[in-house]
Chains A and B, each alone.
Chain A
Amino acid sequence: MYSEQVMDHFMNPRNVGEIENPDGVGEVGNARCGDIMKVFMKIENDIIVDVKFKTFGCGAAIATSSMSTELIKGKTVDEALRVTNKKVTEALGGLPPVKLHCSVLAEEAIKAAIEDYKNKQAEKQTADSI
């Protein structure tokens, strides 16, 4: 039911873990539905220099977390925001229809982490200007 790429990213997930003092953190999903993705980012000059994830979920949830973090690593924040669930799914060689929501979750987790980063930046600027 899963492609080779999905199985590879499930068995050998890239970027698993946490980042201490991250510049952005995004957590989406909930345990009730059986999926939680938490993404940590280190961002320097608007470039995502490091990204890690932790995921509670099925094989597809873990694989999409792994692939989406791979796709945004080293990219600018704007580039990362253009990584859609469709791109993640394509990079994984497709997903079963019932698992497409996992790729949506991956996109949302990245967006949430970037939003967190932007909020923190805005706070900093406000603090600096005061």
Chain B
Amino acid sequence: MGHSVYLDHASTTYTKPEVLKEMLPYFTDLYGNPSSVHRYGREARKALDQARERTAAALNADPNEIYFTGSGTEADNWAVKGTALANSKKGNHIITSSIEHHAVLYTCKYLERNGFEVTYLPVDEYGLVDPEQVRNAITDKTILVSVMAANNEIGTIQPIGEIGAIAREKGILFHTDAVQAVGSIPIDVKEMNIDLLSLSAHKFYGPKGAGALYMRKGVKSEQIMHGGAQERNRRAGTENLPAIVGLGKAIELAVTDIPQRNARLEALRNRLIDGILSTVENTRLNGHPIKRLAGNVNFSFEFIEGEALLLSLDIKGIAGSSGSACTSGSLDPSHVLLAIGLSHEIAHGSLRLTLGDRNTEEDIDYVLEVLPEVVQRLREMSPLFNQNKGGRTYV
């Protein structure tokens, strides 16, 4: 007992102590409103500006192209709805992928109910979008292409540079949801022809409650949040300054040593993947074997259900997540796992383990010790599992 292994960093990360340290004065001492004229306001404004500069530098953007939001979800909503509304005279067609986060997918569904047309591009078995399919889907009504930089469930890294080049060539706006990618893959909005990009602080060791939307200068977009002059009149609401300060510090740290951090995470990740594949039968790795986030592991275990697996692991001190329906509150398992061609049955038995900077080899070895037993226990209870045959065909 006493083990505590957190492997759910794609859900959220802890806040790094050096990030928290920079945030704290903005709760108790430097609590001014950045919009105020007085000294308190000016101090707060200075901190807001610095966070904006740091965020811009991390993406190779200009500071006045960064707009802070309350979350990555808000940034996605704003990117998609804002550009759709502002460009509706030009056209009403949006291209996205079938494996986007719901913040993009459900926003697209909402727009469909309001006169827009959306193409949801399929992905291959590894979850990759084909840039040529993006090109072929473009019509004279297309106003926006939105494809995520990396997938939150299976970790597949998309060819956003290629997609960005196609969109730019055709004069169509390109948005990428980079919530999972920032700090894990280098991003250069100029080189990659990105017009809009969403990010969220709590995915890269910053606090919850702060996100940002990068919007290239000149991009036409409607406001979603009305009622104040904040963020250069484009996003009303008093800034969550402590969290934004944290975002600024966290993104600075996150992009400084990507190769070294990735090398460490990849070694741990591969140890986990190889270990699972060699100890548990009837198992498949979901996502791309190479083009995947350094910390992402996603498996399907046949004959068992993901929530039961998560509960069992939790009792052993291991925190993970699943694409099972039972963890989503709906009857359908993850749309991402279905989009890469998994049957419902296999998708229900998925487990996502996402590594972070504090994980160690000991953590991985502990998982490899516990997981096979846990899977076996559940399989022995499952009517789908036949010990002699190793399983039965699904009904």
Contacts and interface: CB of A to CB of B under 8 A. Distances in A.
Nearest to A27: B383
A56 B304 CA distance: 6
Contact of A31 (B306, B307, B331, B394): B394
A54 B308 contact: no
Interface in A29-48: 30-38
Nearest to A102: B326
Contact of B324 (A13, A34, A37, A55): A34
A105 to B, nearest CB: 12
A62 interface: yes
Contact of B383 (A2, A11, A54): A54
The range of chain B's interface size is 20 to 34
A33 B311 contact: no
A95 B182 CA distance: 39
A59 interface: yes
A59 B311 contact: yes
Nearest to A97: B329
B325 interface: yes
Nearest to A55: B381
Interface in B315-374: 315, 324-326, 329, 331, 333, 343-345, 348
B305 A57 contact: yes
B325 A33 contact: yes
Nearest to A65: B381
A58 B308 CA distance: 5
Contact of A13 (B303, B305, B333, B381): B381
The range of chain A's interface size is 20 to 34
Contacts of B329: 98
Chain A interface mostly helix, strand, loop or mixed? Answer: mixed
B382 interface: yes
Contacts of A58: 305-308, 311, 324, 326
Nearest to B322: A58
Nearest to B394: A31
Nearest to A32: B344
Given A30-B395, A34-B344, A56 B315 contact: no
B380 interface: yes
A31 B345 contact: yes
Contacts of B384: 31, 36, 56
Interface in A94-125: 98-99
Interface of B: 303-308, 311-312, 315, 324-326, 329, 331, 333, 343-345, 348, 380-384, 394-395
7 closest Cβ contacts across the A-B interface?
A: A58-B326, A58-B307, A54-B383, A31-B345, A34-B348, A38-B383, A32-B344
Given A34-B345, A57-B305, A58-B306, 15 more contacts: A2-B311, A16-B380, A32-B344, A34-B324, A34-B333, A36-B383, A38-B383, A54-B381, A54-B382, A55-B381, A56-B303, A58-B324, A59-B308, A59-B311, A61-B308
